[in-house]
Amino acid sequence: MSEEKSAAELLAEKLRLKSENAGQILSDEEIRKADDFCEGYKSFLNSCKTERECALFFKFFAEQNGFREFDKSSKYSAGDKVYRLNRDKALIVAVMGKKRIGEGVRIAAAHIDSPRIDLKPNPVYEDSELALFKTHYYGGIKKYQWTAIPLSLHGVIILGDGTKVNVTIGEKDDEPKFVISDLLPHLAKEQMKKPLEEAIAGEDLNVLIGSRPFKSDKGSELVKLNILNILYEKYGMKESDFLSAELELVPAFHSCDIGFDRSMIGSYGHDDRVCAYPSFMATIDCGVPEYTCVTILTDKEETGSEGNTGLKSSYLRYFIEDLAALEGLSGRDVLSRSMCLSADVNAGFDPTYPSVLDRMNAAYLNKGIVVTKFTGSRGKSGTSDASAEYVGFIRRVFDKAEIVWQMGELGKVDAGGGGTVAMYIANLDVDVIDVGVPVLSMHAPFEVVSKLDVYMAFKAFKAFFLAD
Ligand code: MN
Ligand code: MN
């Protein structure tokens, strides 16, 4: 027999904003599907740790699923799948819809670069018979988190004759790894007094790469020489080839389940592959959509979206212009009628650090995909603030598809802030809102997300692509 509800309980049920935990309201079958989906995501994380690796993985995956390189002189019909690769670092995939492109397209935009440690152009040196790399970090990092952890090296080297050499070393168990050393606590009295921001200087992020000298009775810097010799044998490179290389150090550890209940995933690079992977998979899975669906997997978000592979460049606009030209339209005819989900992570509420987040407006793990109306800082500066009308549309789409979702703001007012690519797409006269997965320890070498939120992101992108 059910207990009678009081008038207040009934009224509260009708009127109050609900906050639901996906683990409470999803069926066991749905939870199983989410866990399965995340196994694919975890292996993707292990094989794709840089923007280039992500772009090429997604291109390969797309080709396996019938996507072909976009040809602006071709004719396309509903259900046709195309992609455009930008300099091996960013990828656009699109599925042609039943409606004319002139009615607008549905865009999802996520980034595939993550904070990391880049090599300087002239990186190799020897000091005290140890060989090291000089580095320049990429993106917003807390430098102390990047010391004393195993690192792997990824990227490309363009040799003097133009040959391109791909590098990945330190991912397999039997491969060597690299490390930025830190001071022992016994002698760190002065270092420990410094504010965290100053404890490890940018110029101190030097990476240990060798210690054994080249055997010879004459010569100087023989440890460095021995390393150069190994690099020559392995990659055919000389020291000058570092000048035309892009080499990136990332955490060498693999993704794994977190918690006795295995409800979370710990990994490097959730920001923003945790949105890139679900949005890409939703594109693969959207069948023959009403509207043409476009997913952008972009580079350079972590350094401000500058550069020809970042979203401040015109490569998205050019792609839309080429789509528009298929129907004899100009790009603006399509852009002005298009809608976008800017897919990027938000801060998950961390009970250990409650003071920086407003509990009423924070995103929580397991409460589903987080919709962020605006980002920015200091009085909504540097953001695209989505209109009430557009938020209303997204609400209806998500609710109709039974997506578990929540609204979240990045931190308390004036506590800090951050931005996404939303404003650059909004500047093209597109309706945009940020959505994404809440993350703990964002930008750390090892970040945490909830599996149910990852799956809800996938379902949300799909619902957006398929909504009328
Ligand atoms: Mn991000
Ligand atoms: Mn970020």
CA of 134 to the centre of ligand 2 (A): 23
Could you tell me the distance, in angstroms and rounded to a whole number, from the CA of residue 444 to the centre of ligand 2? 10
Pairing relationship of beta strands 405-407 and 369-372 according to DSSP bridges? parallel
CA angle 278, 282, 283 (to 5 degrees): 120
Domain shared by 190 and 330, yes or no = no
pLDDT at residue 310 is higher than 90 = yes
Q: Answer whether residue 3 shows pLDDT above 80.
A: no
Residue 382 has pLDDT above 90, yes or no: no
Beta-carbon count within 10 A of 450 CB: 29
Q: Is the domain of 123 the same as that of 166?
A: yes
Q: Are residues 91 and 125 in the same domain?
A: no
Residue 307: both structure tokens together: 């550069």
* pLDDT tens digit sequence for 32-90: 999 999 999 999 999 999 999 999 999 999 999 999 999 999 999 999 999 999 999 99
Tens of pLDDT, residue by residue over 394-403, are 999 999 999 9
What pLDDT is recorded for position 2? 63
CATH number of the domain enclosing 461: 3.40.630.10
Ligand 1 centroid–CA 267 distance in Å is: 15
Higher-pLDDT residue of 296, 217: 296
DSSP reduced 3-state for 283:
helix
Query: What's the confidence (pLDDT) of residue 71?
Result: 98
Whole-number Å distance, alpha carbon 443 to ligand 1 midpoint, is: 9
68 neighbors 82 (Cβ within 8 angstroms): yes
Question: pLDDT digits over 168-223, tens only?
Answer: 999 999 999 999 999 999 999 999 999 999 999 999 999 999 999 999 989 999 99
Are 226 and 219 a contacting pair, CB within 8 Å? Answer: no
Examine the pLDDT at 1 and tell me if it is beyond 80: no
Domain count, the chain: 2
How many residues make up the chain in this entry? 468
Query: Distance, CA 93 to ligand 2 centroid (Å)?
Result: 22
- In this structure, is residue 302 part of a structural domain? yes
The answer to whether residue 404 sits within a structural domain is yes
Residue range of the domain that includes 110: 10-114+268-466
Distance 411 CA to ligand 2 centre (A): 14
Mean pLDDT across the chain, nearest whole number? 96
> Residue 439's pLDDT is what?
98
Å from CA of 298 to ligand 2 middle: 13
Residue 217 confidence (pLDDT)? 87
Q: What's the gap in Å between 57 CA and the centre of ligand 2?
A: 21
One domain, residues 72 and 202: no
The DSSP 8-state label assigned to residue 376 in this structure reads: B
Does residue 250 have a pLDDT over 90? yes
Which strands form 207-210's sheet, in the order they lie side by side? 164-169, 151-158, 245-251, 116-127, 130-138, 207-210, 179-180
CA 243 distance to own-chain centroid: 27
